[in-house]
Amino acid sequence: MIPEELLQIIACPKCKGELLFFESFFVCEKCRLRYDIKDDIPDFLIDDAKEISEEEIEKLKNEG
């Protein structure tokens, strides 16, 4: 689990923008990148990030 204090300061490594937190990944709306969390450790390597569509982001936001 990611500590609340850390969630408040984590930013997108590419654009330095705000990240949306979901149970097993983070999403940057601006870059449309998904950063997975593996074994409770966020993987913020830009090369490992997955591109997602605006529609996928909206769906995730509505589900959460």
Residues with Cβ within 8 Å of residue 32, at least 6 apart in sequence: 51, 52, 53, 54, 57
Q: All domains of the chain, ordered by start, with CATH? A: 4-63 (2.20.25.10)
Does this model's pTM top 0.75?
yes
Chain-wide mean pLDDT for the chain?
Answer: 94
The per-residue pLDDT for range 1-30, each reduced to its tens digit, is 788 898 899 999 999 999 999 999 999 999
Q: Please state whether beta strands 33-38 and 41-42 pair in parallel, antiparallel, or not at all (unpaired).
A: antiparallel
Q: Are 35 and 26 spatial neighbours (Cβ–Cβ below 8 Å)? A: yes
pLDDT grade for 41, boundaries at 50, 70 and 90: very high
